[in-house]
Structure 1
């Protein structure tokens, strides 16, 4: 039989008390970011989600960003990495795997969403129509970029005919059809390859949001920008591994639900717009760029050029209800 001295009894009691009083083990969610930490996604989504979750759980649940592709560099593979649990959270573009996101991609079509309607509102209003396109994950945020513009090197675009024969980078197959309808030759590639492609002449320009001028430093290699046509927007998602979410306690799930959805999506989209506005202002004052504000007649020319593509795509994916929901109809 063992006999405890008073000192040993005190030590044992202290140890037991310490175990009973120990706080719940904090958990850190891994957020995969294929872009550098200065990219707009970091402050508007990753850091915001970390701050909000930490506040909601007393620091028991936090988010850590793994930047610059630390958990896998390929932008195209981000969704798969989340499904497989390589990361707990990740962000990306449906356009990179557009066949998976047939109805979601309607939001990227020219004239699908009015220029004055927030894209995140349109996407969440259509969520019942598109939620089946996010298998194996829990959508945390859905938003769009600022409206697309023409970002060109050594070519000024005022009408569709100006694009004839030019090589234009697109993010996915839907954008490729739009580029072809305007007479351009689409070249599909991830956004992080566009800088070198513009610099070397592999492409002549890109149809995308102005935030890329600073986020991907395209202002260093482009010199002509055409604004005003409703050329669609890019769609973005942040998703969480479905099995990870399902395995969490009800309290943790509630905290995640509380910081997800419309508010986080709005934070992202407003940040994208702010980055874009600042980039366009910088381009206007730089002195070595051509910034074209298209007239109403010029805008109508682009709308006419792409109308058949837009209507055909919506019919092809059975997306009439999704489009109506996005428009609030």
Structure 2
């Protein structure tokens, strides 16, 4: 189905929903939620939990219908939420860098995790810090969202990025001349600093690129062994580099017009449910990482640790790259005080590294999000 036809079908669906509301006032108001991932992925599994939480917390006045990889793909979702084609969307802000510069600046700081003791919970730490940063510490982020007619209610992040390759790549010398598929500028800069060539391409093209030798490695997280079927294209995995996570994910952005049409209690329900979406999404990524690395080893894929010299060189890169990030967002997107943003964000990473260390499950993490962050947000005024 073409994008134009999908828009028409959504408009019809919206009209049917509105009409149903006129004839059955007791029925829950259905909110349409677009997620550009297929079913049974970490994000869609979390969305199923989210829908149940919305119904519970709203006392049945709201329901959420999830559309996995159907109404809108990831590239279409930011505009779709902005224009009201859906009520809620899983928005990867990195896909529209000019529209969300302040969120993306924070999202580009993920390799700072390399310099910390994360206990393997890199994604949970980063998404938690992003949640607090956007809600409570970044009015500029809120201005970006308002400019796109969206209200923020949740984050998520991948697990740590590593090298998924069709040959062994474990040292700095191994990297020289290799073609590396990257999904963000920080990993592009890392690759080029190591003498490799960075290649940009959509995730759904990486399987073919690896099997045909168009790239030597994909810089990505382990759950994509199953999510993108890379387990059938990879022969070698190197952990420890380059590190960082994909963290520029606002996983439950709500159309601002929809948001303002809700009652205070319904907005409060969506804020609380957003903690569930954030916690379960991140937790599922952790579960999938362990599962997929085990599957890879069982399949005979070689799993290597990066050479210590390469790890040290990577950490040196991270330190110097902070200045590059600040200069880039100032010159390219006009961010007024990028260094102030970096200095604000770094302590949140340290804070959440300590907080998530002892968390035993996603519901406990969601409760932590509520007490530490979201309970401080007033549904009567937020996003209004």
- State TM-score, norm by structure 2: 0.72
| Contact 1:145-1:233 within 8 A present in 2 as well | yes
Q: In structure 2, what is the Cα distance between the partners aligned to 1:211 and 1:106? A: 20
Residues 295, 200 of structure 1: alpha-carbon distance in 2 compared, 3 angstrom cutoff: closer
| Contact 2:165-2:237 within 8 A present in 1 as well | yes
Structure 2 partner of 1:240: 254
Give the unaligned 5+ runs of structure 1: 1-21
How much is the aligned-residue C-alpha RMSD, in angstroms? Answer: 2.3
Q: In structure 1, what is the Cα distance between the partners aligned to 2:231 and 2:266? A: 42
Q: In structure 2, what is the Cα distance between the partners aligned to 1:39 and 1:184? A: 31
Structure 2 partner of 1:39: 41
Q: CA deviation at 1:224?
A: 1.0
Residues 77, 32 of structure 1: alpha-carbon distance in 2 compared, 3 angstrom cutoff: same
1:213 aligns with 2:205: no
| Contact 1:148-1:208 within 8 A present in 2 as well | yes
Q: CA deviation at 1:148?
A: 0.6
- After TM superposition, list the pairs within 5 Å mapping 1:52-91 onto structure 2: 52-68=53-69, 70-73=70-73, 75-91=74-90
Q: CA deviation at 1:292?
A: 0.3
1:259 aligns with 2:273: yes
Counterpart among 184, 201, 205 of residue 189 in structure 1: 201
Q: CA deviation at 1:314?
A: 3.4
Q: In structure 2, what is the Cα distance between the partners aligned to 1:304 and 1:199? A: 32
Q: CA deviation at 1:299?
A: 1.6
- After TM superposition, list the pairs within 5 Å mapping 1:76-155 onto structure 2: 76-99=75-98, 100-101=100-101, 102-109=104-111, 111=113, 114=116, 115-116=118-119, 118-127=125-134, 128-129=137-138, 130-135=141-146, 136-153=149-166, 155=167
| Contact 2:126-2:349 within 8 A present in 1 as well | no
| Contact 2:171-2:309 within 8 A present in 1 as well | no
Q: In structure 1, what is the Cα distance between the partners aligned to 2:291 and 2:213? A: 26
- After TM superposition, list the pairs within 5 Å mapping 1:11-26 onto structure 2: 24-26=26-28
> C-alpha deviations, 1:27-80, integer Å up to 9, x for none?
111111222112211111x11111001112233211111122x2133x223212
Give the unaligned 5+ runs of structure 2: 1-23, 330-337, 352-384
Secondary structure of the corresponding residue to residue 149 of structure 1: strand
Q: CA deviation at 1:180?
A: 1.6
Q: CA deviation at 1:112?
A: 6.4
- After TM superposition, list the pairs within 5 Å mapping 1:286-325 onto structure 2: 286-287=299-300, 289-317=301-329, 318=338, 319-325=341-347
Q: In structure 1, what is the Cα distance between the partners aligned to 2:90 and 2:259? A: 16
Residues 76, 322 of structure 1: alpha-carbon distance in 2 compared, 3 angstrom cutoff: farther
Residues 105, 156 of structure 1: alpha-carbon distance in 2 compared, 3 angstrom cutoff: same
Structure 1 partner of 2:32: 30
User: By percentage of residues, which structure has more helix?
Assistant: 2
| Contact 2:190-2:314 within 8 A present in 1 as well | no
- State TM-score, norm by structure 1: 0.83
